[in-house]
Amino acid sequence: MTAKVSDYKNINEYSRVYANDTSHKVLLLAAPLLSFYRPLYRPIFLGMGGLRAWQLSSQLYNCEKQPGLVAHYLFHTALAVASLVGTIYRPSLGMILTTSQDLIFEVQHFSAQKGTKSATTIASHALYLALLARGGLKLSICFLTFQAAVLLMNAKEKFQEGQYLEGCGSLLMAALRVQQTYTQSAQLKRNWEIDALIKKHYVGELHEKWQFPSDHLPVGVEVNGVRILSWNVLNNAYIEWVTLKDSQGLNGSMISDLDRQVHENGLTMRDVLIADQVQSMVSSGQIIALQECSAPFVELVEQRLPSHWQMVKSFDLPRKDQEVILYDRTHFTYCKDLSGTPQTAYPSAPGRSLQNAYFIDAKGTPLRVINAHIPGDPMLPAKEEFAQYVHNSHQEGEITVALGDYNFERSEMLEAYKKAGFSEFSLHSPWQTNIDPYTKESKGIDHLFVAGREALSRDLSPDEVLQQGNLQETIDLLRATPN
């Protein structure tokens, strides 16, 4: 399912009061409908803003020399010109000024005869100004609801006056607003579902009940038909947190049972099982990102890859711990010159690396995959630094997927991405993936971020992520109440 996030400040959601721009019937009918087509929105907005400024300046020039009348038209002419200039250099400012002017006009022409319509229109303008200031899905739904109500009342009024063409235009606009309201209401419901699915849940110490080879569960997303998977496989260098320290209550689980060396290079039975499961992922995905990979594990996985798959390592020389990306060469071309392993993404954690891999698919569409294990110290601004790095790396016209072990929950990363400057993106957190060592609560800290105007993404189901192993049973375990 989708996991879209937006600040809902998109000015294309708004229909200005075109009657304050012109009295031309064709323009009043066509402009609101044509403005829904994104490439035409700004030219129409600029053109209608220019008409408003011209009309008000003409009224100022032709008005009688009455101080009150001159002051009225002078004020509104200045506001219309400021709105036009603002639209050119900063569209949101132009929209604020235009909406404020429409609000003032409505208040000035308020009449008891049309009290309900006027009050609803004033509320609609006020809600849009609040939406521009704060953003938010709930505010957007309220605004669209009031807009639809205004348009329906306007359609009724036009039909009663015998202006059937104008009435049909208002009715069509109202239908579009109702459709937008329905879509956003469905998204709000989906957000509530996501929150319910990944909310913290006390599970206690599971020990032998945990029959999964890592302390993190894999997750996956489909982006424009491409399946991308992510998994922190648990490096053997950190296995003592499970065995000796038992920090998550998983000592005695499959993790510790399979912590037996089978090769002189340090490879364990657990590594072999995880490599088997990664092989099953190869049959269901096109890109696989892995975190916490030891040198022996990397060597084993690379040896087992099919001939049409390739591994991109963070570092060419063997490392104690690194991230790697596996990809299907029949679907993607890896661009080494546009990729890298920066070690400056986290100023608060110098030397901590992440993987930035650039691919081009068969259609020539660029895809950037950022594979990371974010430092988990809550006293450090690592999550904000990572989000800022992703924002700085993302380019117009490409799709960016930032995934891995985030070490922070979805709500925290949503704020970090918004703070970094993203206004529209998707953040997929399909299920709880780990156990908090302090509270013994399950939590979702492995996420998949997707940005790009043309990116359509959805969560993958457990069976789509991992065909071999008991992933669904382990997810259920993280949602169950201990006996």
pLDDT in tens, 254-263: 999 999 999 9
Which pLDDT belongs to residue 296? 96
Burial (CB < 10 A; 0-12, 13-18, 19+), residue 251, is buried
Specify the pLDDT at position 307. 94
More confident position, 309 or 166 = 309
Amino acid found at 161? E
Task: Tell me how far apart the alpha carbons of residues 60 and 370 are, in angstroms, rounded to a whole number.
Answer: 57
pLDDT band at 13 (very low <50, low <70, confident <90, very high): low
389 to 92, 314, 446: CA distances (angstroms): 25, 17, 18
Mean local confidence (pLDDT), 261-275: 94
Question: 365: buried, middle or exposed (CB in 10 Å: 19+, 13-18, 0-12)?
Answer: middle
Cα gap 437→442, rounded to integer Å: 9
Gap between the Cα atoms of 206 and 447, Å rounded: 23
List, for residues 93-141, the tens digit of each pLDDT value: 888 898 898 899 889 888 777 788 899 999 999 999 998 888 788 889 9
CA dihedral 384, 390, 396, 399 (to 10 degrees): -130
Out of 3.40.120.10, 3.30.565.60, 3.60.10.10, 3.40.50.300, the CATH code matching 199-479 is 3.60.10.10
Q: How many CB atoms lie within 10 A of CB 148?
A: 20
Residues 353, 355: Cα–Cα separation, whole Å: 7
The answer to whether residue 3 scores a pLDDT higher than 90 is no
Find how far residue 369's CA is from the centre of its chain.
15
Share of the chain above pLDDT 90, in %: 62
3-state secondary structure 409-458: CHHHHHHHHHHHCCCEEEEECCCCCEECCCCCEEECCEEEEEECCCCCEE
Q: Which helix (H) or strand (E) holds 168?
A: helix 164-198
pLDDT band per the 50, 70, 90 thresholds, residue 7: low
**pTM of this structure:** 0.81
Match 């063997």 to its residue by tokens: 318
* DSSP β-ladder status, 226-232 and 219-223: antiparallel
Can you tell me the mean pLDDT for 359-365?
93
Higher pLDDT, 50 or 230: 230
Q: Report pLDDT for 258.
A: 96
Question: Mind listing the pLDDT tens digit for each residue in 172-199?
Answer: 999 999 998 998 898 888 888 888 888 8
pLDDT tens digits for range 393-427:
999 999 999 999 999 999 999 999 999 999 889 99
| pLDDT number for residue 481 | 74
Q: How far apart are CA 370 and CA 275, in angstroms?
A: 22
Helix (H, G, I), strand (E, B) or coil at 70: helix
Can you tell me which residue has the tokens 């040198």? 295
Domain ranges of the chain: 4-194, 199-479
- Specify the pLDDT at position 453: 84
